[in-house]
Structure 1
Amino acid sequence: MTPRALLKHLTTGVALVWIAAAAQADTLADALVGAYNTSGLLEQNRAVLRSADEDVAQAISGLRPVLSWTANVARDFGTARNSQTAFQIMPSVENTKTIALSAEMTLYDFGQTGLAIDAAKESVLATRQSLLSVEQQILLRAVQAFMEVRRATETVSLRQNNLRLITQEQRAAQDRFDVGEVTRTDVALAEARLASSRASLSAAEGDLVIAQEEYRVATGQRPGTLTYPRSVPTLPPSVEAARAVAMRIHPDLLAAQYAVSINELGILRAKAAMKPSLSLQGQVGVTQNFDNDNFSRGGSVSLNVAGPIYQGGRLSSLVRQTMASRDSSRAQLQLASLNIEQNIANAYIRLQVARASQTATADQVRAAQIAFDGIREEATLGARTTLDVLDSEQELLDARASQISASVDEYIAAYSVLYAMGVLTADQLGLNVQQYDPAAYYNMVKGAPTPLSKQGRELDRVLRALGKQ
């Protein structure tokens, strides 16, 4: 199966899980939807992406003319003595106003501006992948929070049942002691186990409160009655198949690749900065005297060529620095690839361990239940002590707790595989949410619109709707 076909099969299988659970409240899908819609971390990184989008607009502005105006009103005064004043000291006052309009445009700069635009676009693409990575973290946290509430809830229920059973055992031991069938030691053992069971129940209830608080923070809502998922999501059949998908689409890997491109463009920009640039300048203005009708009008147009000669070694240092950054990003790309491979392998191992543990604990629970029933029956006949019954009951409790944990661990491990592959996103999971379009804002600002343009006014409306202006 090709990576593309495998990815299609994978996402289809995961989507079926959501469709099956969509009609029920407080499902895992509900938790994921809540996390996506309420995450402040997601909102923060969406703002970071919009900021990166604006870098493209600012870079594009370097290809356009820069227009500016100046206006001033001046009063010149003083005294003078010369031949025109017959060598008499005479005061002078002149009031003038000046208005000027200037324009400047870079005609050629050996590709500096074009490279800056390309680098800004690559940065946008990298930031989009970082946003997807954050989205994955948010959704995995929601999965873990949902399953931990489930684990804590079932543990509390288990502890409550255990407390009821031990209470009955303690009463039975007391009754048998009253009729002389057992010693005071048996009663004390039962009382000790009863106190221990109460303490364990209190600890389990505390863990449940903690899990519920984590669920609230992760999903934006308090848990109700949670509906356990019917099955784990469909996963690739092997580690190699999962890695093949991850090497194509994992956001961390793609972000690292874009970082390499950004630094390679940075090297070219640093080298281009060492070359001259050609620009066109123009200016027109008028100066008028308030005191009379005198005025002057004029302007100028110039073609300028300028370039660095010596800046103390700064430009050469910038080239070397960008080369070092490029080498660093290449190393980071390799590390990202290795980390993804390792995370996938680890996730599959945890999944296999959880499944093996689930099978073993199911057998353990069946055997422990049979042993407990037998020992308790034997105790009523006097063939077993109270301690034997309590020990058997503790073994059954431990087996059931292990079974609960193994089931929860299987789900967390399965979704960790999706996370390690880079497909634990709202789009891939088919969540019923209004998905954030990372290209929408970019398409509005990539042309660097002005506030007076039609697109600029539309952008202002969008910003007001976002509450950013």
Structure 2
Amino acid sequence: MMRTWLLKAVVVVAGVLASPAVRAETLADAMIAAYKNSNLLDQNRAVLRAADEDVAQAVATLRPVVAYTAEAGWQKADVNTTLGTTVVEDLTASLTLSAQMTLFDFGRGKLGIEIAKESVLATRQALIDVEQQVLLAAVSAYIDVRLAQEVVVLRQSNLRLITQELRAAQDRFDVGEITRTDVSIAQARLAASRAALAAAEGDLMIAREAYKAATGAYPGRLAALPKSPALPHTMEDAQSVARSTHPLIRQAQHLVKVADLQVDAAEAERRPTISGSATLRTDDEGLDSQTLGLTMNQTLYAGGRLSSVQRQALANKDSARASLQQTAVGILENVGVAWANLAVAAAQIEATDQQIRAAQAAFDGVREEAAAGTRTTLDVLDAEQDLLDARNSRLQAEAQRYLAVYQVLSTMGLLTVDHLQLGIPTYDAEAYYGAVEKAPSHSVQGKKLDRILEKIGN
């Protein structure tokens, strides 16, 4: 039953491939679908919006805090008087409105805003890196499906050829030209070919599942791979581009700035804070009161906590700088590895082309010699297997070479919708940030934010 199901699936794929009326899905279509349907991108966009809110919250610390307190109470008590004990009941109510604002904190508030902004920029770069991962997964899935389809076709052709060889061997056995051993060898090879075809069909189904996971839908009729994107002429040029554009390096640079600012913030924690307050109060008896206050406070001793915080900030600064250097080392290594894989794949293509030509000539010659009786069935099947292996290696090498081009782009930090010019609207990281960076609270900004969130949701 499983075998029948796989064959039906391959027949469906072959029918789709053969139908001229159905528009073929291109590699660009696959990447666009992956970009639009990625849950991973949605998750990290939400992470970025949460980081944007950190800026709004840092801005809010420099603004007044206005609060009210409403109180009501009832009291019943026994009161001793000259006439005896009297029960007294009393109902009280009051309303207090207060406002408090930090007037001067030696830059702590502004440092908090700058730290939040740099964290937002770092998170944006992390989102770009996720975009690269999503697009590379789509490219890989597209190539894998096409490769699996081509291998299935190759295995089907091999099965037909071995079937013909078995018939020929049976005919020659019937007339006494060969022995039963030759027929058995052909039968064994036919069974092996069927098993290899079943494995290829299984690989195709697996590749289709990976394609759906990457793009959101199963593949239809896939178009031929387009021309590869342009790459720098040398590995050193590619590494130079990666050093300045890769999102992980840029993210690490922003995190170094965050660490530097946190050192300044730790130093500022030792300084005083000046704040002002105002209070308006009224009660049920009509008595009103107003107070204004100015407060300065400074921590003189905190059990060593402030010194520890400062030392910790300095250690984090050293860690961030070392992390930046190591990130750059890793990115440059990845460029070198991807470049080497590209060169290896190109060399394999050239070698397998020569192998195919030689294997084809050998197969043709052995088959003619077998027809003349100077070669055995085993010789023909071995020659055919060599040709099959060469063609399969050629397909593998071509797929590896094409994927390696996009891997080089990814290691350079250029595997993005904008760089590839896919022609679709991209996520606007500035839209939400622009709506919340000033910590809006009134209705006009609130409605603008609602529109942005609704657009993001769509």
User: What is the TM-score of this pair, normalised by structure 2?
Assistant: 0.93
Do structure 1's residue 114 and structure 2's residue 110 form an aligned pair? yes
Secondary structure in 2 matching 1:295: coil
Distance in structure 2 (CA, Å) of the matches to 1:228 and 1:315: 64
Q: Deviation digits for residues 352-411 of structure 1, max 9, x if unmatched?
A: 000111011111111111110111111011011001000000000000000001110011
Do structure 1's residue 394 and structure 2's residue 385 form an aligned pair? yes
Secondary structure in 1 matching 2:220: coil
Do structure 1's residue 333 and structure 2's residue 324 form an aligned pair? yes
CA drift of 1:89 comes to 2.1
1:315 corresponding residue in structure 2: 306
Q: Deviation digits for residues 143-187 of structure 1, max 9, x if unmatched?
A: 111111111111111000000000110111111111100011101
Distance in structure 2 (CA, Å) of the matches to 1:317 and 1:330: 20
CA drift of 1:295 comes to 2.7
- Give 1:91's match in structure 2, choosing from 87, 92, 99: 87
Distance in structure 2 (CA, Å) of the matches to 1:308 and 1:118: 24
Distance in structure 2 (CA, Å) of the matches to 1:386 and 1:466: 66
CA drift of 1:87 comes to 6.9
1:461 corresponding residue in structure 2: 451
Report if the CA contact (8 A) 2:23-2:221 is conserved.
Answer: no
Distance in structure 1 (CA, Å) of the matches to 2:138 and 2:225: 14
CA drift of 1:272 comes to 1.0
Distance in structure 2 (CA, Å) of the matches to 1:51 and 1:253: 22
1:226 corresponding residue in structure 2: 222
CA drift of 1:325 comes to 1.5
CA drift of 1:465 comes to 4.4
2:31 corresponding residue in structure 1: 32
1:284 corresponding residue in structure 2: 280
- Give 2:194's match in structure 1, choosing from 191, 198, 203: 198
Q: Write the letter of the residue equivalent to 2:105.
A: D
- Give 1:372's match in structure 2, choosing from 360, 363, 366: 363
1:187 corresponding residue in structure 2: 183
- Give 1:153's match in structure 2, choosing from 149, 152, 155: 149
2:7 corresponding residue in structure 1: none
Query: After superposition, where does 1:383-462 map in structure 2 within 5 Å?
Result: 383-450=374-441, 452-462=442-452
Q: Deviation digits for residues 258-309 of structure 1, max 9, x if unmatched?
A: 1111111111111211211000011001011xxxxx3310011000001112
Secondary structure in 1 matching 2:231: coil
Q: Write the letter of the residue equivalent to 1:177.
A: F
Q: Write the letter of the residue equivalent to 2:361.
A: I
Aligned-residue CA RMSD in angstroms?
1.4
Distance in structure 2 (CA, Å) of the matches to 1:116 and 1:409: 48
Report if the CA contact (8 A) 1:275-1:307 is conserved.
Answer: yes
CA drift of 1:434 comes to 1.6
Give identity over the alignment, percent: 51
Distance in structure 1 (CA, Å) of the matches to 2:23 and 2:266: 58
Report if the CA contact (8 A) 1:37-1:433 is conserved.
Answer: no
Secondary structure in 2 matching 1:436: coil
Query: After superposition, where does 1:329-368 map in structure 2 within 5 Å?
Result: 329-368=320-359
Distance in structure 1 (CA, Å) of the matches to 2:423 and 2:309: 48
Decide which moves more: 37-46 or 225-234.
225-234
1:49 corresponding residue in structure 2: 48
Secondary structure in 2 matching 1:63: coil
2:268 corresponding residue in structure 1: 272
Q: Deviation digits for residues 102-121 of structure 1, max 9, x if unmatched?
A: 00000111111100000000
1:4 corresponding residue in structure 2: none
1:64 corresponding residue in structure 2: 63
Distance in structure 2 (CA, Å) of the matches to 1:183 and 1:377: 19
1:15 corresponding residue in structure 2: none
Report if the CA contact (8 A) 1:34-1:220 is conserved.
Answer: yes
Q: Write the letter of the residue equivalent to 1:39.
A: S
Distance in structure 2 (CA, Å) of the matches to 1:24 and 1:250: 35
Q: Write the letter of the residue equivalent to 2:247.
A: P
Distance in structure 2 (CA, Å) of the matches to 1:108 and 1:234: 55
User: What is the TM-score of this pair, normalised by structure 1?
Assistant: 0.91
Q: Write the letter of the residue equivalent to 2:444.
A: K
1:5 corresponding residue in structure 2: none
Give 5+ residue unaligned stretches, structure 2. Answer: 1-21
Secondary structure in 1 matching 2:61: helix
CA drift of 1:24 comes to 6.2
Decide which moves more: 24-33 or 457-466.
457-466
Distance in structure 2 (CA, Å) of the matches to 1:263 and 1:86: 74
1:13 corresponding residue in structure 2: none
Do structure 1's residue 239 and structure 2's residue 230 form an aligned pair? no
CA drift of 1:432 comes to 2.4
Q: Write the letter of the residue equivalent to 1:257.
A: Q
Secondary structure in 1 matching 2:84: coil
Secondary structure in 2 matching 1:70: strand
Report if the CA contact (8 A) 1:39-1:218 is conserved.
Answer: yes
CA drift of 1:244 comes to 1.3
CA drift of 1:52 comes to 0.4
Report if the CA contact (8 A) 2:94-2:282 is conserved.
Answer: yes
Q: Deviation digits for residues 197-222 of structure 1, max 9, x if unmatched?
A: 00000001000000011001101121
Q: Write the letter of the residue equivalent to 1:235.
A: L
Q: Write the letter of the residue equivalent to 2:258.
A: I
Distance in structure 2 (CA, Å) of the matches to 1:30 and 1:100: 62
1:77 corresponding residue in structure 2: 76
Distance in structure 2 (CA, Å) of the matches to 1:220 and 1:411: 23
